[in-house]
Structure 1
Amino acid sequence: MSFEIIFVFALLALALFLFATDYVSFDVASIILLVCLLISGILTPQEGFSGVSNPATITIAAMFVISEALRRTGLLNRAGNFFCNKMEDNFWPWLFVMLLFVSFASSFMNNTAVIMIFIPVMIDIASRIGLSPSKLLMPLSFAGILGGINTLIGTSTNLLVSSIVEDRGSTAFSMFDFLPMGLIFLAAGFIYMFTYGINAIPSRREKEKEELTSEFEMNEYLTDLIVKPSSNLIGQILDAEKLTEELDLDVLRIFKSEHDSSAQRNEVKIQANDVLRIRGSADEIDKLLRREDLALRPSHQWVDTDLQHGRDALVEAAIAPESALDKRKLADIDFGKRFGAVPMAIRHHGKLKQEKLGEVQLSGGDSILLSLSKERIQDVSNDPSFVITSELDVMRPRTNKIPIVLTILSLVVGIAALGIAPISVTAPAGVVGLLVTGSLSTEEAYTAINWKIIMLLVGVLPLGTAIDKTGAGAMIAEGMITMLNDFGPVVLLSGFYVLTTLLTSIITTNASVALLAPIAYEVASQVGINPEPLVLTVSYAALLTFITPFGHHANALVFGSGHYQFTDFTKIGLPLNIIFWILATIFIPVFWSF
C-alpha cells in the first residue's frame, strides 16, 4: 500500500469525522480536505480546483438563483392560499392534491424553498380545522423530498451524481432519467403516508392556533419595570445594552405614560414612571433591581398582544438548514443591528430555551421567537437564513414577473430535456435572463446561492478524483466485491443502498454521495457491469433518508416548527426507508439493467 493510498484513507477517516461532528461546519471541512490534497501533492492545482469549474457546481448555483426568482414572484404563496381555502371545506382530498403539488414544484426548483413557503400554510390550515400542525409538517417535508428525486434539477444530489458519472467517461443523465423510479417511490410514499404515516405522527404542537408567548413559555421571562422619579436614568437616552450589561436580559421596548405606541429603544429619552418591558429570568431581574431606582410592576398572564403594540411585532422564525447561521452561536449574530430584533426564546433540537440564549449553537430547523418592528419582518423574510413560520403573505410578491420567470424556467428545462444544450449551459443562461429582465437583482442572486453547498462541492469533488487517482477506490471496491459479489449484482446494489442510508444518517446528503458514488462506479467497473444502477442507488438512498430529522435538510426545516422529537422521525421514517430499500432492490435493475 503506497503512501498516497494511506494518505487518502486517512483523509476519508478525517472527512467522516468532520462531517459527522460539529467540530467545524461541513463547508470548512471540505476546504480542509482540499488543502490537504494540494499540500500532499496527490493532486495538482488544476485537479484540486476542478470542483470550481465542475458543471454540477455551476448548475447547482444557477438553480438556486432560478428557484429564488420563482419564490419572489409569489406564485407558490398564491397556490398555498388557494389550497388553504379548499382544505378548510374538504380536507383529505385537497391535502393529497396539495402534497402532490408540492412534489411537482420540488421537481423543478429547490425543495427547501417550496417547503419554506408552505410551512406557515400548513400551520394555518391545521389551526382552522383543529388538527395538530405536527400531523402535516412531516408529510410536507416528505412530499418535497419525493418530488426532488424525479428530475435532474430537482435536487443538487442528482446533478452531483450525473457529474460524477460524466467525469468517469459515461454519459451524463438527462432531465427525466430519474423519473420512472422516482414515480414508484412517490406513489409508495403517498400510499404509506395516507394509510399509516399521518395517523401515526404524534401531535406535538397544539391543535388550536396558540399564542407565541404560550408556545415558547414566556410567562416567567417577561417583566415590566417602572422608572422611579428618583432615578438617575431620567433625562438620558435609553442605552439598553449599558443598562443590562453583564446580565442575561434584553429591553424589548419602553412605554411612555402619554401614549402607547411603539418607540425606538435607542432613541428614547427616559422620563419618570416610564415602563421598561424586559426579557429575562427572575434571577437576572433581581440583579437589575439592585439599582434601587427601578420598581417591579405587578405581573400578569402575558399574551401576544402585550408585545404587539403599534409597530411592534412578534414572529417565529426557523433557521434554514445549511444556511450561513448554521453552527454559529446566537451571541455572534447581531440581531439588533441586522433586523432591529430581540431573540426571546429558541427551540433547539426539540428543547425550549429561554435563558443563556447567546450560548446556543444554532442548527437548521431551530425556531426563534423574535420581537421586532413590523416593517423589519420583510428584512427577516428576505434573508435566506430564515423561514418565517408564524406569518402568511409576508413577502411583497413580484406578480408582474410571473410570466417572465415561468418562461425562463420552461426554456431552461425544455432545452435541456430535448438535448439541444446541457443543463450546465441552460441554467446559467436562465440566470442571465432573470438579471437582464429585472426579475432578480444581482445582490438577490448572490444571496440566493447556498455558498456552503457550493464550497462543499469545491472541496469534496477533488477527493473523489484522489480516490480514483491513487487506487484507493479500487482497493475499497475489491473489498466490497469480495464480500458481496458471490451473491450477484442485485445483492451488491442492495448493500450499497443500506450503506448509503446509514452514512447519510450521520453526514450530509451531498457529502455521502460524493464519497460513495465514485466507489460504486469503481465496483461496477471491476465487476464488469453497468455502473448506472449502482450509482443511482447511492443517489436515491442518500436522498430518501427519513430516519433522522437531519438526514435531509427538508426534515431539519420542519423539525422545530413541528415541535418534533428526534425519535418521531425514526418511528415514521424507518418503515418508509425499509419499503424504499425493497423497491430499489427490485425495480432499479428493471429500469437500468446490469
Structure 2
Amino acid sequence: MAIEDVGLAPSTLVFVVLGLTLAAFVWGRFRYDLVALSALLGSVMLGLVPAEDAFLGFGHPAVITVAAVLVLSKGFERSGLVDIIADQILRVGERLILQLLALVGTVLVLSGIMNNVGALALLLPVAMRMAREHDTSPSLLLMPLAFGSLLGGLTTLIGTPPNIIISSYRGNVSEDTFSMFSFAPVGGVVALAGLAFIVLVGWRLTPKRSGQASPSDMFDTANYLVELKVNDESKAKGLTLQQLRDELEESIPVLAVVRDDNRQAGYSFHGMLQAGDILLLEAGPEELKLLEDKAGLSAVAELERDDEDGETTDLAEDEEPESHPSVDTEGLQLVEVVVRNDSMMINRSVRQLRLNHQFGLHLVAVARDGTRLKQRLRDIRFQTGDILLLQGEENEIAESLPALGCLPLANRDLNLGQPRKLLLSLAIFAAAIVAMLLDVLPAAVALSSAALVSLLIGVLPLREGYQAIDGPVIVLLGAMIPVGEALESSGGADLIAQALLQWGTDWPVVVTLVGLFILSMLLSNVINNAAAALLMAPIAVSLARGFEVSLDPFLMVVAVSASCAFLTPIGHQSNTLVLGPGGYRFGDYWKLGLPLSAVVLLVSIPMILWVWPLSA
C-alpha cells in the first residue's frame, strides 16, 4: 500500500500512526517493544518509511551504544562494586537525612557512569537492608532512590538513553554529536538541586507505609511455616516430593524434609517419604485441609509466634504437639525478588513458567501492594512489582533470576554473584571514556570495544552479557528511530513546530522552551523515555530553525525533560521496580514527583540558556 493509495498527506498519516502508537503505549495492553515494531511495520506499509530502510534503526549508533552500556553495567554488578558501596553506606547511622544523602548521592554518581536501572538494581538491596536494620519504612527510601537514579542519568552521555539519542540526532542534523560530558554542566547542577530538594524536603512528601512493604514483615517465614508428619497410613508414604505435588495438583513448596532430626532442603530431597518424616512447608488453611485429605499428612505444630512472647501454638485442636524440635529456617536458601516490568513472568502462573522443572526454583510466597497474597500459589498470575519469596540452590537462583526478569531485593544466607575483577572492569571502562574524550573513537565504537574486551577476558560471562542486553528496549529504539525520522521527512515535525511558533510569536523564546519541556516531560511519564526523546527531537529542531536560533538549547531541553518521569510508576523502569518493595500506590508518585519536576524545570532552563545560548 502506498501513500497515494490512501489519499492522505504523509504528515497526516504520520500523525495517525503516532497517535495510535501513543494510545497503545498508554493503554499498556501490549508491551512497548511490540507496539514500536507495529508502528514501524505500519509506517513501511503506508510508504512513510522505505522498505529498504525499515531496519536500519537497529544498526543506529544510539542502539549500539545503549546495548554496550547495558553490558558494561552488568560487569560492574558482578565486579563486587555493590559490596564495597554497601559497606560504606551502611555506616552512615540512624539519621534518615544521612541515609537519604548516602543512598541518593551514591545512585546519582553511579547513574552517570552506568545504566540508571542498573545503578538502582545495585542499591535497592542496600536500601532494603538499611530500612530493616534501622526500623525505617522502605517507602521513605525507595522512591527518593528511584528518582535519584533518573537525576544521575542526566549528567553524562551514557547515563540514560535520551542523552544518547539526542547526541546521535544532533550528529545527524549538524554533523557534530555531544561528547561524554557535554551534559554535565546542566545535568550536574540539576542533579545536585534535585538531591538537595529530596534530602531536605522531598522525603516528607513520600507516604510512610509503616513498614508493611518490608519483605521481612511480609515474608517472615517463622509466622507461616507448618510441620506435617508422614504417618504409616499416609498416602504420601512411599512418594517422592514431585509425586506428592502431582497427586495434590498443587505447587505447595516443601522447604525441608526432616528425618531422624536431620534436615534436608526440599529442592535437594529426591528420595521417597517414610513414616515419621516431617515436612516443613508453607500452607494456609485450605492447603492444610488438602494435605490432610489427599495425602494423609497430620499437623504437628504451627511455627507461629504468639504476639511478643515467641511461643508456638498448636494447630491440631484435639492433640498435643509431638515432642519434635521446631525446625530452623536458617540456610534454606531463600531469596526475595521483585518482578521487573520486562519480566517473562508477567501474566503467567507457576505452572505456565514451569518454575520448578525449568528453573529449579520453588515459589514460597507472593506479596503485592505491600500485602502478602493469600490465594493458592498455582492460581496467581504475576504482575510487575510483585515481591516473590523463592527457594532454590544458590547457583540456580543466580542463573535463573536474570532469565526470569527478577531483581533480588535481599538475601538470606545467600550471596548472588561473586566479586570479580573490579579494578580490571573499571580500567576497561576508563579507557573507553578516554578514547571518547580525545575523539579517538566515537561513543558507539569505544563502548562496544570495552564491552567486547570485558567479555573476552572474563569480567562478564558471555551468557550474562547477552542477558544484560535489554531486548525490549533495543527493539523499541531500533523500531522507533525510523518512525521518528518519518515524522521529520513527512513534514509532521514542521507542522507541530509551526503551530508552536504561532502560539509563541508574542512571547520570548524561553516561554516556548518551557512549553517544550513540559510537553516532553508529560510524554515521558506515559511512554518510555527513549520513545519520548525520539518523538520530540525532530520537533525541537524544527522549533529552533523556526526561531533561527541554535539547535543546542532545544535539544538539551528534550534531553533533560525526557528523563524526568517523576509523576507515575510506569514512566520509567526505576519507578516500577520500587513500586512493590515500597508498597506504593499509583497516586503516590506525583506527591514527590510534581514538586521535583518543578525544581528541575526552574533550575534547568536558566542553566541551559547559560551553557547553551540561543545565539548560534
Task: List per-residue Cα deviations over 1:208-243 (Å, max 9, x = no partner).
Answer: x9773x424778865443333223432232314312
Considering only aligned residues, what root-mean-square deviation do their CA atoms show, in Å?
A: 3.0
Cα offset, 1:367, TM superposition: 1.7
Structure 1 letter corresponding to 2:10: E
Moved more, 194-203 or 322-331: 322-331
Tell me the residue number matched to 1:583. Answer: 603
2:583 is aligned, of 555, 563, 583, to 563
Moved more, 290-299 or 477-486: 290-299
- Unmatched segments (≥5 aa) in structure 2: 1-6, 313-324
C-alpha separation in 2, matches of 1:323 and 1:218: 26
Tell me the residue number matched to 2:199. Answer: 194
1:328–1:390 CA distance, 2 compared to 1 (3 A): same
Moved more, 332-341 or 435-444: 332-341
Cα offset, 1:149, TM superposition: 0.7
8 A Cα contact 2:245 2:252, kept in partner: no
8 A Cα contact 1:364 1:553, kept in partner: no
What does 1:459-498 correspond to in 2, within 5 Å?
A: 459-498=479-518
Structure 2 letter corresponding to 1:227: V
Task: List per-residue Cα deviations over 1:75-113 (Å, max 9, x = no partner).
Answer: 2321221221x3138875575355333212211111222
1:211–1:409 CA distance, 2 compared to 1 (3 A): closer
Moved more, 141-150 or 282-291: 282-291
C-alpha separation in 2, matches of 1:232 and 1:551: 52
8 A Cα contact 1:88 1:125, kept in partner: no
1:229 aligns with 2:250: no
Tell me the residue number matched to 1:445. Answer: 465
Cα offset, 1:362, TM superposition: 4.1
C-alpha separation in 1, matches of 2:69 and 2:232: 60
1:172 is paired with a residue of what secondary structure? coil
C-alpha separation in 2, matches of 1:534 and 1:148: 19
1:88 aligns with 2:93: yes
C-alpha separation in 2, matches of 1:233 and 1:123: 40
Cα offset, 1:442, TM superposition: 1.9
1:44 aligns with 2:50: yes
- Unmatched segments (≥5 aa) in structure 1: none
Cα offset, 1:124, TM superposition: 2.2
Tell me the residue number matched to 1:537. Answer: 557
C-alpha separation in 2, matches of 1:508 and 1:410: 29
1:20 aligns with 2:26: yes
Structure 1 letter corresponding to 2:29: Y
Structure 1 letter corresponding to 2:247: L
Task: List per-residue Cα deviations over 1:270-323 (Å, max 9, x = no partner).
Answer: 222433444454234434543373334443416999786475222211123444
C-alpha separation in 1, matches of 2:108 and 2:404: 21
1:288–1:195 CA distance, 2 compared to 1 (3 A): same
Tell me the residue number matched to 2:416. Answer: 395
C-alpha separation in 1, matches of 2:281 and 2:527: 40
1:125–1:474 CA distance, 2 compared to 1 (3 A): same
1:15–1:138 CA distance, 2 compared to 1 (3 A): same
1:259 aligns with 2:262: yes
2:367 is paired with a residue of what secondary structure? strand
Moved more, 130-139 or 319-328: 319-328
Structure 1 letter corresponding to 2:228: L
C-alpha separation in 1, matches of 2:424 and 2:295: 63
What does 1:202-281 correspond to in 2, within 5 Å?
A: 202-204=207-209, 206=211, 212=216, 214-216=217-219, 222-238=225-241, 239-245=243-249, 247=250, 249-257=252-260, 259-264=262-267, 267-281=270-284
What does 1:43-62 correspond to in 2, within 5 Å?
A: 43-62=49-68
C-alpha separation in 2, matches of 1:210 and 1:178: 37
Tell me the residue number matched to 2:106. Answer: 101
Cα offset, 1:552, TM superposition: 2.2
Task: List per-residue Cα deviations over 1:519-575 (Å, max 9, x = no partner).
Answer: 222232233232222222122112122122232222222222222233332211211
8 A Cα contact 2:215 2:336, kept in partner: no
1:261 is paired with a residue of what secondary structure? strand
Structure 2 letter corresponding to 1:226: K
Task: List per-residue Cα deviations over 1:31-88 (Å, max 9, x = no partner).
Answer: 111221222232223321111110000111011111111221102321221221x313
1:180–1:80 CA distance, 2 compared to 1 (3 A): same
8 A Cα contact 2:340 2:406, kept in partner: yes
- Identity between Structure 1 and Structure 2 (%): 27
1:175 is aligned, of 166, 172, 180, to 180
Tell me the residue number matched to 2:315. Answer: none
C-alpha separation in 2, matches of 1:504 and 1:83: 31
8 A Cα contact 2:138 2:214, kept in partner: no
1:420–1:375 CA distance, 2 compared to 1 (3 A): closer
Structure 1 letter corresponding to 2:30: V
What does 1:75-474 correspond to in 2, within 5 Å?
A: 75-84=81-90, 86-88=91-93, 92=97, 96-97=101-102, 99-204=104-209, 206=211, 212=216, 214-216=217-219, 222-238=225-241, 239-245=243-249, 247=250, 249-257=252-260, 259-264=262-267, 267-291=270-294, 293-301=296-304, 309=329, 311-325=331-345, 331-350=351-370, 352-357=372-377, 362-374=382-394, 376-380=396-400, 385-391=405-411, 394-399=415-420, 401-474=421-494
8 A Cα contact 2:75 2:460, kept in partner: yes
Cα offset, 1:131, TM superposition: 2.8
C-alpha separation in 1, matches of 2:301 and 2:404: 40
Q: Number of residue pairs matched?
A: 589
C-alpha separation in 1, matches of 2:358 and 2:251: 20
8 A Cα contact 1:318 1:367, kept in partner: yes
8 A Cα contact 2:103 2:145, kept in partner: no
Cα offset, 1:117, TM superposition: 1.8
8 A Cα contact 2:252 2:281, kept in partner: yes
1:369 is paired with a residue of what secondary structure? strand
